[in-house]
Chains A and B, each alone.
Chain A
Amino acid sequence: MTEPGGSAPLVKLEGVNKHFGALHVLKDIDLAVERGEVVVVIGPSGGGKSTLCRVINRLETIDSGTIVFDGRELPAEGKALARLRSEVGMVFQSFNLFSHKTILENVTLGPTKVRGISRQQAEQRGMELLERVGIAAQAGKYPAQLSGGQQQRTAIARALAMDPKMILFDEPTSALDPEMVQEVLDVMTALAREGMTMMVVTHEMGFARRAADRVVFVADGQIVEQAPPAEFFTQPSSERARDFLSKILTH
């Protein structure tokens, strides 16, 4: 099978607009994410970061503009949309593990029900993934029995089980107790090193410096500036970004 799109960006947003009622939450967004690239999205709360992340697998619809994923425009609904979503992993702020399923079942559900892989194969792969994120010992437990950090690592394994072309992280560490943030960031950093295409909405500046190829600064529904992390953190070009960084980096 040939890769549709080839060397073109994996995701390309052009002129994307989105309103929540009177609130213009995304304003003419143009953004491309290359294959293997790790893009970290930062910016003040309510500025549209999460929405930007969520429109890419159409958990939020857009009002105008185009989003092309892997050479094809995002399908509007139905089976085609479900197929697209199966190729884009998503990790949520609040984990959203299936509460009535065990950890292993959370990881094998997608492969068996969406991809039609046999249970045995899915479980073998699922255990490998749980091993990789360091929670194989918890495989038989239910999500509520795990710590936040363990739940979020399960959620990452669940996304990986679909062999996604990209993973979206929507504030993956914001709901965690401070001592559990690092274990999740470590898993994400390892993924980034292995070449996974990632878009990460986060407030973890350390992670942005360490793992990002590019930092995208979003405020008031617009991409204010984007630059490699070293450049962005040392000499931000926009007043808005300087202001934001001064507020978060001084304490």
Chain B
Amino acid sequence: MNDLIKYAPDLAAGFLVNVELSLVCAVLSLIAGTVLVSLRVAPTPVLRTAAATYINIVRNTPLTLVLAFSALGLSDTLGLSFSKEPSTNAFWLVVLGLSAYTASFVAETLRSGINTVSLGQAEAARAIGLTFFQSLRLIILPQAFRAVIAPMGSVMIAMIKNTTVAIAAGYLAESAFVMRDTFDDTGVSIPIFIGLVLAFMAITLPVGFLTGRLSRRLAVVR
């Protein structure tokens, strides 16, 4: 218990990084996932194939490898740099890798939502003269989103927990790394361990609870 109190400020600072990563990645992965699924269902075969290829590759690659590629491949080898400050640069490399990875899950979740929208909705949209992307944006996706709020919550929960493997991109600030670093000094401390678990659950549980409630409230009655 003393260890937890002693190292609490370090751990809290680390945990704040997890929260920051989560917020930024949630926004970016939802946007990128929506774009991806739009291409994935587009009438143009080239777009569909490109999106399907991306989704299948990224979704089936271990996150640690995606993050390693982000740091070693994109940054070290290809020279992609977000900032001269190494820790800021590493933060954004994690954001890039984790968002790219999560976007593929967002896209697949949304696609299952699109499949719940009846074909007649799309036909009616086309029949009044909406273009494909207009009917996707105005008719199909709004209904698809509402159909998958709860599973999207699960994707977001997974993403929040995935911020703890940021070390794979060489980013050493988040709480799971801080915890292991601390254990090097103190030996394994159960209170620290449990404290961190509770901190994560303080975020992930409400996400699950809220998305569950929202999905019931916003369900489209057909």
- A-side residues, CB < 8 A to B, are 57, 59, 77-79, 82-90, 92, 94, 96-100, 109-110, 113-114, 142, 144-145, 155, 158-159, 162
Contact = CB atoms under 8 A, between A and B. Distances in A.
Given A113-B134, A144-B222, A162 B128 contact: yes
B221 A86 contact: no
Contact of A114 (B128, B139, B221, B222): B128
Given A99-B220, A113-B138, A90 B146 contact: no
Given A109-B138, A113-B134, A113-B138, A100 B220 contact: yes
Interface in B131-148: 131, 134, 138-139, 142-143, 146
Contacts, number: 73
Contacts of B120: 92, 94, 96
Given A96-B120, A98-B139, A99-B222, A114 B130 contact: yes
Contact of B127 (A57, A83, A100, A113): A57
B19 to A, nearest CB: 32
7 contacts: A77-B43, A82-B126, A82-B130, A83-B129, A94-B120, A110-B128, A162-B128
Given A89-B128, A90-B123, A99-B222, 12 more contacts: A57-B127, A59-B126, A59-B127, A82-B129, A82-B131, A85-B128, A86-B129, A90-B124, A100-B146, A109-B128, A109-B138, A113-B130
Contacts of A100: 139, 142-143, 146, 220
On chain B, which size bracket covers the interface? 20 to 34
Given A144-B221, A144-B222, A98 B125 contact: yes
A70 B191 CA distance: 78
B121 interface: yes
Nearest to B44: A77
A142 B146 CA distance: 15
B116 to A, nearest CB: 11
A18 B105 CA distance: 39
A97 B221 CA distance: 12
Contacts of A77: 43
Nearest to A94: B120
B124 A97 contact: yes
B127 A90 contact: yes
Nearest to B222: A99
Contacts of B142: 100
Contacts of B139: 98, 100
Contact of B124 (A84, A86, A92, A114): A92
Residue of A82, A89, A100, A142 with most chain B CB atoms under a 10 A cut-off: A100
Given A90-B124, A92-B124, A113-B138, A99 B221 contact: yes
Contacts of A144: 221-222
A142 B130 CA distance: 21
A145 B222 CA distance: 9
A145 B220 CA distance: 12
Interface in B97-120: 118, 120
A106 to B, nearest CB: 9
A113 B126 CA distance: 12
Contacts of B143: 99-100
Given A94-B120, A98-B121, A158 B221 contact: no
Contacts of A109: 128, 138
B110 to A, nearest CB: 15
B121 A110 contact: no
Contact of B123 (A89, A96, A110): A96
B129 A85 contact: yes
A79 B131 contact: yes
Nearest to B146: A100
A158 B222 contact: no
Interface string B135-171: 0001100110010000000000000000000000000
Contacts of B138: 109, 113
Looking at B127, B134, B143, B221, which has the most chain A CB atoms within 10 Å of its CB?
B127
